[in-house]
Amino acid sequence: MVEPLNIALAGLGTVGTGVVRLIETNAELIARRARRPIRIAAVSARDRTKDRGVDLSRYDWEDDPAALAARADVDVVVEMVGGSDGPALALARNAIGQGKGLVTANKAMIAHHGLELASAAEKAGVALKFEAAVAGGIPVIKGLSEGAAANAIERVYGILNGTCNYILSTMEDTGRDFGDVLAEAQRMGYAEADPTFDVEGIDAGHKLSILAAIAFGSRLRFDAVETTGISRVKAADIEQARSLGYVIRLLGMGEIDRAGGSARLFQRVHPHLVPIDHPLAHVDGATNAVVAEGNFMGRLLFQGAGAGDGPTASAVVADIIDIARGEKGAAFSMPAHELEAMEPAETGHRRGRSYIRFTVPDRPGVLADITAAMRDAGVSIASMIQKGEGAQSGEVILAIVTHEGPESAVTEALRILDGSDSLAARPLVMQIIEG
């Protein structure tokens, strides 16, 4: 009889209990595909008495998650505690140090410590897998590291945070403003009580740094990801974008910048205007989508549920099945010591079109001040739309779309205007993705 693969689960929240439920429900199918049974040997969580909707009485319980890694009857530790450091990182290090495989859905930990953990796993001869850390149930890590392995990936980008996508697409459908839709998302469970990691782009930045390392063979550089969230996007921006033939989406974008002859890593999370005929324009709700462009395969689109107990648990169990089959491989598609250390790319020379939203006092001379700053900075204006905020406010929205040019010119125009009494609020700049 083939010996089962024994696993231990740390963290029994939505995803952890989803993993238990999936393994129990599809046990026979999973055993056939893994070529051996998958057996849960032990579990650990903060509260032993909590009703999680699954029967945990058949599994050993460890109050201390670190004890899971020391158990002789455990082959693989599944970490779903969360957090970039603390108990999650201690458990990950301990599991690998004890010669156990590690499966995790923890994007923050991988973004901050993935290189260390990958190096340790390779030295220990054990697997480190984290498909569920990026885009939930979408097999984008496997797609890039295996399906696209023969290609030089030129660019990877996409919608990496379901909370932000839900908020933006709901604003688009209803005309409501950010704060109102965020409150609804929190009531519905799409957004955390403290939504900062989601709405300010940090969560998407974690995922982008992981994708970039796999796509480009570069060392993880989360510290080099430029992040701008969606909290300053107004309903008026959504309306203006629609009138121009675009929708607004928070995109994470990574590519290799070879300007100046040396390879530098460009990573940015930023709200963009996306043409209505682009595939990402039709990704609504809490869905995630990733586009990868390779030199021989062309453009690939990965799309699906980016969160939730079922999709994320599916990705976790798929990693467990890979380990049961004996598939270890390099965590980032090549050995950790071969990942290239790349400096962050300078962004000022990048060329493109920009949408700039100004909130300005409703008085003469304002438009002349703004256009003069644009002229002096070398920004060419393609179109301009003005919309009143309301008779009571005494302010209007002025939206400018630029012709293609260097991003440094837009930055310079805003520097010239900084502190001007022609501005009632800080401008918002969004890049425009071409079709």
Which residues are designated catalytic?
Answer: 207
Task: Note the Cα 87 to chain centre separation in Å.
Answer: 23
Place of tokens 């400096």: 343
Angle at which helices 14-25 and 309-324 cross, to 10°: 60
In whole angstroms, how far apart are CA 256 and each of 113, 150, 156, 271? 22, 17, 10, 20
- The Cα–Cα gap between 283 and 299 comes to 16
Looking at residue 346, what DSSP letter applies? Answer: P
> What burial class does residue 40 get, using C-beta atoms within 10 Å of its C-beta: 0-12 exposed, 13-18 middle, 19+ buried?
buried
DSSP 63-115: SSTHHHHH-TT-SEEEE---SSSHHHHHHHHHHHHTT-EEEE--HHHHHHHHH
* Of 245, 253, 258, nearest in space to 270 by CA: 253
* Of 115, 145, 143, 132, nearest in space to 221 by CA: 115
The residue type at 312: T
Enumerate the H helices of 155-233 as residue ranges. Answer: 162-174, 178-188, 196-199, 202-216
DSSP 218-282: B---GGG-EE--STT--HHHHHHHHHHTEEEEEEEEEEEE-GGGS-EEEEEEEEEEEETTSGGGG
Q: Token pair of 84, please?
A: 């970039």
CB 68 within 8 A of CB 91: yes
> What burial class does residue 49 get, using C-beta atoms within 10 Å of its C-beta: 0-12 exposed, 13-18 middle, 19+ buried?
exposed
